[in-house]
Amino acid sequence: MFHPLNCSRRGMLQSVACGFGGLALADIVHAATSPHTAHFMPKAKRVIFLFMAGGPSQHDLFDPKEFIRQKHGQHIDSPLRKEVTQVGTEKFLALAEAAPVKPRGESGMLISDLMPHLCSVVDDICLLRGVSTDNPQHASAVNQFHTGVFTEVRPSMGAWISYGLGTENQNLPSFVSIHAPGVRTYGSGFLPAAHQGTPLTVPMDNKTLPIENLRNVSSSDVIQRQRLDLTKRLNQRLIDNLQGDAQMEGMIQNMELAFRMQTTTPQLVDLSKETQSTLDLYGIGGGKESDRHGRACLLARRLSESGVRFVQVTMDGWDHHGDIRGNLPRLCRQTDQPVAGLLKDLKARGMLDDTLVLWSGEFGRTPWSQDLSGTAPINTHGREHQPESFCAWMAGGGVKGGFTWGETDHMGYNVINGKVHIHDLHATMLHLLGIDHTRLTFNQVGRDFRLTDVHGSVVKEILA
């Protein structure tokens, strides 16, 4: 427990332990519990965010256009404002989808042949075809997707949700980011540090550590323990002399927790005890292209099941400026089975009803082609970034299954119906978790800040 004389309020808030501990840590993780309670009945208790870093092409996967198909390889009119510069798109050639996109499931939702596994679960997903964001660059768009803004440093959505709902399991962090794309995507900004995401790597070999510095550097556990015991005694002596200090107390507790994490974390990420059928479901197995993401998705399910509020899995490589016909199928092979496997597994375990799954990139790609060489044949072209409109999908957690929302214009550039801005996506996500996005605030330098800043409205049409 904290020393009776520990006195800084701020120290209390920030002195927080969250991690993969083996013991009940209720006494030290209390600060990770939230000052809030849900504003209304939640549909979802937790979120799994599958982040497709780089910007998957919606034209090839979900929203192809007859107009573009007809004009394949021919010049089309540019809808871009004249101040906007793009490179390799000067010819403005229409680029038809890379593979057939056909109606699937009972709902007849349009999905590409490139994602056969996703096709088998379409009636559980809600496809958003009018998602829109403000920035055509990776760094800015990634920041906006994760924090709502692109210039300032603000808390990430996982941190906001942890702050809003607290933790479901006091032995685990409330927010874990697997293969996180940069510190700002899991940072807690001005929120207490307890809400920051814990970055995790799925080890593919014995050398990789799931968390940095997890390997004992002394020659044996006994020796390390002797070393830590001395540190502990020195720390205790200092605290006694000072008659208490919340931060130092936190550091002592964390040292013990960290010591245990050295054994508990590898156990947590160890998938060797999973059944073969589970591994097969996720496409896990040596040599399979889907192995790495399969492991990440299975781990996400395990973390969710154990009560982690917000789990993010990042799958990168979608930035196809060139040869989209060669690159996109490969990315689909890497991700399709893991993603669909996760949905099936959640459903089989009865978890899909109260787990919201979100699949999205930071933006989409243009219907016209890009060719940086200027001389390559059309069938080896790629696509440029497109923030104006793109596709994402949600599943479970209170959204309509087998439902398509949103429509883009004849070329797939502007949203003409059912626009869902990133702020709306955030507002909707919070709504499903029982949080009014206008009321989840944190006061900083005199102002109440929100994930949705001064924007956002809940997309009621997609609620189940």
Partner 1 sequence: MNRLTFLFAVACSTSLALANDAGEFSNDQIAFFESKIRPLLVEHCYECHAAGSKILQGGLRVDHRAGLLKGGDSGAAVVPKQAAKGLLIKALRHEDVKMPPKGKLPDSVIKDFETWIAMGAPDPRAADDRPVRTIDLEEGRKHWAFQPVTDPKPPAVGDAKWPLVPLDRFVLARLDAKGLKPVADADRFTWLRRVSLDLTGLPPTPAEITAFVSDQSPQAFETVVDRLLNSRAYGERWARHWLDLTGYADMMGTSNNVFAEHSWRYRDYLIATYQKDKPFDRFVREQIAGDLMPAETTEERAENIVGTGFLMVGDVEIVEPDKAKLEADHIDTQVIKIGTSFLGMTLGCVRCHDHKFDPITIPEYYGIAGMLRSSPSTHKIPFGVWSILNSTELPETPEQLVTRQKLEADHAAKLTGMKTEREKLEGEKNAVAKELAQLEQATTSATSGNSNEATKDVAADQARKDSLKKRRDELTGQIQRLGPLIQHAEFFQSKVPKAFAMRDGDHPADMPIYIRGNPYAPAAVVPRGTIQVASWDKFPAIPAGQSGRLQLADWIADKRNPLTPRVAVNRVWQKLFGEGIVRSVDYFGTRGELPSHPELLDHLATRFVQVGWSQKKLIRELVLSRTYRLSSANDVDAVQVDPDNRLLWRTNRQRLEAEAIRDSLLAVSGELIGSDGGPGLVLEERENCGDLVQQGVNPPNYNHRKPRPQQEFQRSIYLPVMRTNTINLDRIRNQFDFVNPAQIAGQRSQTVVPTQALFVMNNDLFRKRAKALADRLLKETPQADARLERLWLQALNRPVSDEERVIAKSVLADLDAAISEPNAEVKEALKWHELCHSLLASNEFIFRI
Residues in 420-449 at the binding interface with partner 1, rule: CB under 8 A? 445-447
DSSP string covering 124-173? GEEEEEEEE-S-SSHHHHHHHHHHS-SSS----HHHHHHHHH--S-TTS-
Chain centroid to Cα 19, Å, comes to: 19
What gap in Å lies between CA 359 and CA 314, rounded to an integer?
Answer: 10
152 binds partner 1 (CB under 8 A): yes
129 binds partner 1 (CB under 8 A): no
423, containing H or E segment: helix 422-432
Given 76, 99, 193, 378, the residue binding partner 1 (CB under 8 A):
193
Partnered with residue 46 across adjacent β-strands are 355
Given 183, 204, 348, 464, the residue binding partner 1 (CB under 8 A):
183
- Specify the residue for token string 């010819």: 91
User: Restricting to residues 1-20, which ones interact with partner 1 according to CB under 8 A?
Assistant: 5, 7-11, 14-19
Q: How far is the CB of 156 from partner 1 (least distance, A)?
A: 12
Torsion region of 333: left, alpha or beta (phi above 0 gives left; psi -120 to 50 gives alpha): alpha
184 binds partner 1 (CB under 8 A): yes
Give every CB contact of residue 94 below 8 A, 6+ residues apart in sequence. Answer: 67, 68, 69, 70, 71, 72, 73, 74, 75, 76, 367, 368, 369, 411
95-103, 112-120, 206-214, 266-274 -> range binding partner 1 (CB under 8 A): 206-214
110 binds partner 1 (CB under 8 A): no
What gap in Å lies between CA 153 and CA 37, rounded to an integer?
Answer: 26
241 binds partner 1 (CB under 8 A): yes
User: Restricting to residues 304-343, which ones interact with partner 1 according to CB under 8 A?
Assistant: none
Given 198, 337, 366, 386, the residue binding partner 1 (CB under 8 A):
198
67-75, 249-257, 297-305, 342-350 -> range binding partner 1 (CB under 8 A): 249-257
303 binds partner 1 (CB under 8 A): no
Given 76, 228, 271, 378, the residue binding partner 1 (CB under 8 A):
228
With 0-12 / 13-18 / 19 or more C-beta atoms within 10 angstroms meaning exposed / middle / buried, residue 372 is middle
Q: Which is nearer to partner 1, 61 or 411 (CB)?
A: 411
Backbone angles phi, psi at 132, to 5 degrees: -145, 145
Tell me the site size for partner 1, rule CB under 8 A: 86
Using an 8 Å Cβ cutoff, are 31 and 13 in contact? yes
Q: Which is nearer to partner 1, 106 or 448 (CB)?
A: 448
87 binds partner 1 (CB under 8 A): yes
User: Restricting to residues 378-417, which ones interact with partner 1 according to CB under 8 A?
Assistant: none
268 binds partner 1 (CB under 8 A): no
61-69, 84-92, 306-314, 338-346 -> range binding partner 1 (CB under 8 A): 84-92
Q: Which is nearer to partner 1, 41 or 84 (CB)?
A: 84
43 binds partner 1 (CB under 8 A): no
